[in-house]
Chain A
Amino acid sequence: MAMATITLGHEAMATEFHATVLADDTGYARQAMAAAWHELDRLECALSRFRDDSDIARLNRLPTGGETSVGVDTFHCLQLADQLRRHTSGAFDVTYRSQTPAAPDQRLRLNPRGCRVRVLAAGVEIDLGGIGKGFALDRMAQLLDQWDVRCALLAASSSTLVALDPPPGTTGWPVQVGPARDARHPQLARAAISGSGVARQGRHIFDPRSQRPATANASAWALAATGAESDAWSTALMVLSADEARGCLASHPIGGAWQLPNAEPSTRLVTLRSEQP
């Protein structure tokens, strides 16, 4: 049976998600994607800070010293976020909205026993906006693997793409990084890529270290093993200077990292790291 391509969309996390799937049996692939969208909706219920009943909203209401159990998915996402905060020297931080003098590593305590989270300081606020979509795409990709639907590209808007196997006869899903005048074209297979920038939504990325809008870069891209990592790293790369970013990447390398510095319109794309030619 010849492979056919289907494209499907779904709205969640205030974003349009899209899936491109190549499959012999498109009916089966649609069923797999229905299960994947269900997983996405389930995760949104736990991770959204805009739902009163979500884990994150409950954490954001806790007083200083308050502690609660959260769902396993929320806990794993917070663990990942904490790891990525350390890998990026604090440039990515899900507590960036907090109104507190407490240092970022003194705001939350994560206890795997019972998936318990303790809020250590007044004014702590969690926003998974810089990691949640990538985290959800990773879960969807895992689910498609269980269904043996292996040739697919999943996207949260155009900001994070998670690739499973590439189309037959290719080495990866072609993606573009950087402005058209100075673009790179990595191939994406069993990896994820995310872009962050100020072009679409204005200056919406904060530097958690200064609590001010990030000004160093106009755009940034990160290629990593998972959507959660690429999502978080693209945000961090918006915040970090090129030298700071190189320092972080030397200790914690990812597949690719690019910045478009916020200097002049003619500024060229800076490749900080790329495993592909």
Chain B
Amino acid sequence: MKRRDFLVVSAAALAASNLPAAEAAKPIELALIGAGNQGRVLANAAVLTGQVRFRAVCDIWKYRRDPAIALLKNYGPEPKAYEDYRQLLAEEKGLDAVIVATPDFVHAEQTIACLRAGLHVYCESMMAATLADARSMVAAMRQTGRLLQIGCQRRSNPRYLHAKAKLFQEAQLLGDVTALVAQWNQPYSDDAGWPRRFALPDDLLKKYGYADMHQFRNWRWYRQHSAGPLATFAAQQLDVFHWFLGTLPRAVLAAGGVDYSKEHQWPDNGMAVLEYALPERVVRANYQVLMTSSAGGQGQFEMLAGSDGAIKLSENPKYAGIYHEAHAPDWDDWVRKRYLVKVGLPPEDKPAQGAATEAPTEAAVRETGQVVPYDMPIAVEKPVHQYHLENFFAAIRGQARLNSPADAVLASEAVALRITSAIQSAKREEIAPADLG
């Protein structure tokens, strides 16, 4: 089913839902597994939907677990605290779903256990630290028939949805797609610390797979716990290209290294070139992650570029824009339809309407025509994760289909992991379709 058709179907399903009103209004009974920074973001976004009741919070660190419980008890009964998710699953009956926001290396184990316990799962991205683990999650989703939404929240972002359905597919603003560019650049930050009096004891850290508190607090830099920042961001950002184009890359070249923070195990800077064979032509994606510099404050974005223009998307609207090439057919019809709004050019470049001009006495030599910026008349009016959680909750109620089910984003995870292997091999790696499923 095409995305546009799906939107029509889901809207109709919402209008004519067969669910009894009481059932539709019944809160979804939830547990949170992993109450760190991202867990708190998701818990906050979930309660803002007004559709859930948190029954339990699980985290091995009381310092994180207690504030999450303190937050959530403002929105319902006080959730019960658990250190071990297995105990949570054994004791909490009547749950509908869980949110998994733990370090990546335990996603598969926890997600699969929850699915097998009959629960729907919202699992943060990346799905897993290895492709084998990610595949096992998809297999469990299929075996159990439960829902497994992966936290690729751009797929539920109204600006991304508008860009895909209206600008890219219907208006075809780009003309011919010729290149893809994406990046995640952020200023260097020291490794995270912890308040000393809340440090976890060594035996508890070891029980849960960490050598010490430093590793626990900075797990993303360790091979045992994560696929690294480069793969993590690539899994989400390259997924945007795969979602828009419906195509996966056939080859990758990459370079990167532990250049700056020598105690880390994953590259702090990395660049990749990915090759996509579209039906009409080959296009390449230029992708980079810098964990050492904002590199001029250009931030994080995913850009699809073409012969007539470019669509630059970002979760932060200040990095986003839509750009019209000077030679391309005008976009006035799309502006009238409110698909776009013109941001405007500097005044000196705007010809005055109806202005009389003198006949040129000599040919004017000018620089290439200026690219004209536009924007979408679409605002993100909720926390970005709230849209994705709302989609998850609607799917649980049978009112929508998941926007990023595990089987749909598995290939993007696989591509991201191939970037790290291409850095290791230091040569162009061909990617077979079977590698990505």
Contacts and interface: CB of A to CB of B under 8 A. Distances in A.
Interface in B378-400: 379-384
Contact of B189 (A28, A34, A70): A34
5 contacts: A52-B381, A61-B381, A68-B48, A72-B70, A114-B75
B296 interface: no
A147 B63 CA distance: 11
Interface of B is mostly: loop
B48 A71 contact: yes
A30 interface: yes
A72 B44 CA distance: 8
A34 B379 CA distance: 30
Contact of B381 (A34, A57, A72): A57
Interface string A75-89: 100000000000000
Contact of A147 (B71, B191, B195, B384): B195
Contact of B74 (A28, A31, A75): A75
A32 B70 CA distance: 22
Interface of A is mostly: helix
A114 B380 contact: no
A30 B190 contact: yes
A112 interface: yes
Contacts of B436: none
A32 B74 contact: no
B190 A31 contact: yes
Interface in B200-242: none
Nearest to B317: A52
A53 B318 CA distance: 13
Contacts of B71: 72
Contacts of A115: 74-75
Contact of A146 (B47, B189, B198): B198
Interface of B: 37, 44, 47-48, 50, 63, 70-71, 74-76, 189-198, 317, 379-384
Given A31-B192, A52-B317, A69-B48, 12 more contacts: A28-B193, A28-B196, A35-B193, A52-B380, A52-B381, A53-B380, A53-B381, A69-B50, A72-B44, A75-B74, A114-B75, A146-B198
Bin chain A's interface residue count.
Answer: 20 to 34
Contacts of B48: 68-71
A214 B317 CA distance: 36
B50 A148 contact: no
B75 A53 contact: no
A52 B196 CA distance: 37
Contacts of A31: 190-194
A160 B44 CA distance: 28
A35 B71 CA distance: 18
A38 interface: yes
Given A31-B190, A114-B50, A146-B198, A53 B383 contact: yes
Nearest to B47: A69
A58 B382 CA distance: 8
B193 A112 contact: no
A34 B37 CA distance: 13
A147 B195 CA distance: 4
